[in-house]
Structure 1
Amino acid sequence: MSQVFEGYERQYCEISANLTRKCASAGLLNGEQKKQKVSEIKGGLDEAESLIRKMDLEARTLQPNVKAVVLTKLREYKNDLNNLKTEIKRLSSTDSQAARDALLESGMADALMASSDQRGRLLMSTERLNQSSDRVRQSRMTMQETEAIGVSVLEDLHQQRQALLHAHNTLHGVDENVGRSKKILTGMSRRMNRNKWIIGSIIAVLVLAVLLILYFKLFH
């Protein structure tokens, strides 16, 4: 989840809790003290509403798998803000002691209980969202590690391919050398055979010449 959204969220929870306490204390006041407290609460409401708008804008920029959860959470914050606004209206409209007592006994108690329950749900939603964010971060880390392993494997395969190409080129060169050597040996073998025939012919001629010489000497 966006760190910017989390920052706005923490600020809103602090302001909401502070405004709830101020609403409870304002219900026990009267006169100028009450007006001053209500004015402070209204200023806090403006700040809380500004944070809601900022969270809304930030939530719409998130990824779809996180955006849906964040928008659901944001709706709960908006409901909490509306409850606070309702409490301020009740405080502003009550002047008599009876109205204050009725507010404390009924409306304020219900509102505080509702706010407490809603904050409990918000805390649970925050916890679930944080767990989802942790799982997303872990998945991202796993993807990065897998990507790094893949890059390493590709580099190893590239090196092995280069080694195989080098070996292939070397074998091709050896094959060419063997072919040339074979041609040379074949040529030498042909020359040796030709020389054998020449030498054999010379020997035959010499033997024939010797026989003729002996014949003429013996019979003539």
Structure 2
Amino acid sequence: MSEVFEGYERQYCELSANLSKKCTAAGALAGEQKKQKLSDVRAGVEDAEALIRKMDLEARSLQPNVKAVLLAKLREYKSDLNNLKSEVKRIASGNLNAAARDELLESGMADTLTASADQRSRLMMTTERLNQSGDRIKDSRRTMLETEELGVSILQDLHSQRQALLHANNTLHGVDDNIGKSKKILTAISRRMSRNKWIIGTIIAVLIIAIALVLYFKLAK
């Protein structure tokens, strides 16, 4: 709901009610007093038309779902203002005699005021529905913001977890590299030990053969 539109709407409703009272009072007057009262009403009607134009511009600048409701209200306001303008013309025509004027005041004006009251009642109901729609829109917007904040929080948690996983992955790669190096060192040590075993075995075999030859020659003598 637009606060600007609500401000214009309050001004229009107050002005419309005031103009209806002045119009009713003008119907009971005559001469200069009647002309002065009708002049005041016409000036007020111009102000009311200006407010309706402002409300129309403001409504058309809003979101489609809100704009449709506000434009429906504006149609009611325009109809109410047209009825008031028609009543001003009838009062200002000067062709009605006293009896017709009394009849107008007793019947026509009563019907007009009843119609205006009905229109205002419908406008009040429309305003109430619009306020309820505005509250629902505000609740939906608040829920959307809360959902957005939750989504941002989840994304931040996922980012932190991703960084932790990348760090763990890098650590595992480092461990794999160290294991590979250790494996190469152990393989080299194993080969060296095998080579040393062969060398020692060869030396022992040579010593055994030498001892055997020495014993043989001594026993032979």
TM-score by length of 2: 0.96
- The match for 2:98 is 97
Look up the match of 1:134: 135
Aligned equivalent of 1:24? 24
Matched, 1:61 2:58: no
Deviation, structure 1 residue 7: 1.2
Structural mapping, 1:179-218, within 5 Å:
179-218=180-219
Residues 107-122 of structure 1 mapped to structure 2, 5 A cutoff: 107-122=108-123
Identity %: 72
Q: Which amino acid aligns with 2:90?
A: R
Match of 2:49 in 1: 49
Whole-Å separation in 2 of the counterparts to 1:100 and 1:201: 145
Structure 2 unaligned blocks of 5 or more = none
The residue aligned with 1:35 is 35
Provide, for residues 6-42 of structure 1, a one-character-per-residue CA deviation record: whole Å limited to 9, x for no partner: 1111111111111111112222222222221111111
In the TM superposition, residue 90 of structure 1 has moved relative to its aligned partner by 1.7
CA distance in 2, matches of 1:208, 1:16: 135
Letter in 1 for 2:130: L
Per-residue deviation at 1:55?
A: 1.2
Q: In 1, Cα distance between the equivalents of 2:151 and 2:117?
A: 50
Deviation at 1:93, TM superposition (A): 2.0
**Alpha-carbon shift at residue 100 of structure 1 (Å):** 2.5
Cα deviation code 1:87-113 (max 9, x no counterpart): 111221246432321111111000000
- Count of residues in Structure 1 that have an aligned counterpart in Structure 2: 220
| TM-score (normalizing by structure 1) | 0.96
Provide the C-alpha distance between the structure 2 equivalents of 1:67 and 1:198, rounded to a whole number of angstroms: 100
User: Which position in structure 1 is the counterpart of 2:168?
Assistant: 167
Output the CA distance in 2 between the equivalents of 1:65 and 1:112: 32
DSSP-derived class of the 1:146 partner: helix
Name stretches of at least 5 consecutive residues in structure 1 with no aligned partner: none
* Distance across 1 between alignment mates of 2:72 and 2:200: 109
Q: Give the alignment's Cα RMSD to 1 decimal.
A: 1.2
Structure-1 residue corresponding to 2:159: 158
Q: What amino acid maps onto 1:184 in structure 2? A: I
Report the Cα offset of residue 166 of structure 1. 0.8
Quote the offset at 1:186 in angstroms: 0.6
Aligned to 2:85, the other structure's residue is in SS state helix
Between 21-30 and 126-135, report the one with greater CA deviation. 21-30
Q: 1:42-83, CA deviations, whole angstroms, 9 ceiling, x for partnerless residues?
A: 111000001111111112111111111111111111000001
